[in-house]
Structure 1
Amino acid sequence: MRATVRTSDTGLMEPEVGVGPWPGGPEQWPDDPRLDPDLLADGDRRNVADQYRYWRLEAIVADLDVRRHPLHVAIENWGRDFNIGSVVRTANAFNVARVHIIGRRRWNRRGAMVTDRYLHVEHWDDVAAFSDWCAEAGLPLLGVDNVPGSVPIEGRALPAECAMLFGEESQGLTADARQASAAILHISQFGSTRSINAGAAAAIAMHAWVVQHASIPDTRPRV
């Protein structure tokens, strides 16, 4: 892959996102059905990991499906919560099994930065339907909210296969969601505000699961 640069407004050379066209004409392209001819011809500027450069969308999803983590992430969406996009983007980063949106089917996808294309997103009419599905699938349902009776997520052993449920930014988990949860966890805080952003809370909770259960490769960069 070729490194490319562009000239910024300040006149400095900066690296561009992604890679340019594959060197040479079509006769020199790799013979790999996973690769997209349009991306090979025009370059791949998508926000994807390097190993997926020039890959077709379907090929990337198929590869992710082989190694998805058995963690499901759900979020209540009764008022078109703008944090859903952020949750989806983080869920993609941690390659969760599926994202579940409970309530309104419409949500602002801008924050997802097109990462929803690489995930399986499922919609549920209400908490009861989702909770029944979790029970049938044998997935413990863990609510995440700093409500009375919740316990710290830090140091708690999380099930390898489970579903984490997050509430809206404004009201947190609904009463139905709290009742359906096998346990309610909270993220310990030490400042003056009562709560942290719902998207940030979801990222912290997912990472807590990753620390306990994911196989961390030595070759991937850590941020």
Structure 2
Amino acid sequence: MTEPDLPGVGPWEGEWPVGDHFDAELLRDGDRRNVIDRYRYWSLESIVADLDLRRHPFHVAIENWQHDFNIGSIVRTANAFAAAEVHIIGKRRWNRRGAMVTDRYQHVRYHDTVDDFSAWASEAGLAVIGIDNVDDSEPIETANLPRECVLVFGQEGPGLSDEARKACERTLSIAQFGSTRSINAGAAAAIAMHAWIRAHV
């Protein structure tokens, strides 16, 4: 691979910029990370601190009982939409490849059980909104999403567990028109997060 084909930018040319947010190694060697231009040559800590000033007041929660491969994709999307936090309910281990290292910039909190998560959400004053195609769900296309909330997603296939459904104030569904019962969990999460963005941003 020749130098021009590499992603990102090469070493800083000319006099180095001044600022604590710049990373000396990146300025010297180049910045090949998957970050927007605003954050080129910034240190990881500085990027996270800047994101913390601009994160949105919605959270995302994912049940992880079967090591769902969609979690990485959901974390990546949460980062793209500047979610306040991602919550993983159940097992702490998950496949980070799909996150494309965005988990370094995104706050991730773990809850051992649905009850633990539910207690945290109640104390934080956040509405818990399930996303699942079940009989009593409301169409997300016409629902009013609360500004401060947690969007909760279940495992690929079975969807939200019974415990998670009971913890949700409401459950919203995404309209589908084909033959399959459900869409990919990562795709559903992206649609739901963008619905929140359209409503509040």
**Normalised-by-shorter TM-score class:** over 0.9
Whether 1:60 aligns to 2:47 is: yes
Counterparts of 1:170 and 1:38 in 2: how far apart (Å)? 44
| Residue in structure 2 matched with residue 168 of structure 1 by the alignment | 155
Return the alpha-carbon distance in structure 2 between the equivalents of residues 144 and 128 of structure 1.
18
Q: Shift of the alpha carbon at 1:170?
A: 2.4
Find out whether 1:130 has 2:117 as its counterpart: yes
Query: Aligned AA for 1:71?
Result: F
Which residue in 2 is equivalent to 1:221?
A: none
Counterpart CA distance in 2 for 1:92 and 1:197 is 19
Shift of 1:132: 1.1
Q: How many residues were matched structurally?
A: 199
| TM-score, reference length from structure 1 | 0.88
Amino acid at match of 2:134: V
TM-score w.r.t. structure 2 length? 0.97
CA distance in 2, matches of 1:155, 1:178: 20
Corresponding residue for 1:116?
A: 103
| Structural RMSD (CA) | 0.9
Counterpart AA for 2:113: D
Tell me the equivalent position of 1:23.
Answer: 13
**SS of residue paired to 1:190:** coil
- Give the structure, 1 or 2, with the largest relative contact order (CA under 8 Å, sep 6 or more): 2
Deviation at 1:156, TM superposition (A): 1.1
Q: Which residue of 2 aligns with 1:153?
A: 140
Quote the offset at 1:136 in angstroms. Answer: 1.1
Give the whole-Å Cα distance in 2 for the aligned partners of 1:213 and 1:72.
14
Off by >2 Å, runs of 4+ in structure 1: none
Structure 1 counterpart of 2:129? 142
Determine helix, strand or coil for the equivalent of 1:97.
coil
Q: What code does the residue aligned with 2:95 have?
A: N
Mean CA deviation greater in 58-67 or 125-134: 125-134
Q: Which residue of 2 aligns with 1:41?
A: 28
User: Which 5+ residue runs of structure 1 have no aligned equivalent?
Assistant: 7-15, 215-223
User: Which letter does structure 2 place at the counterpart of 1:76?
Assistant: E
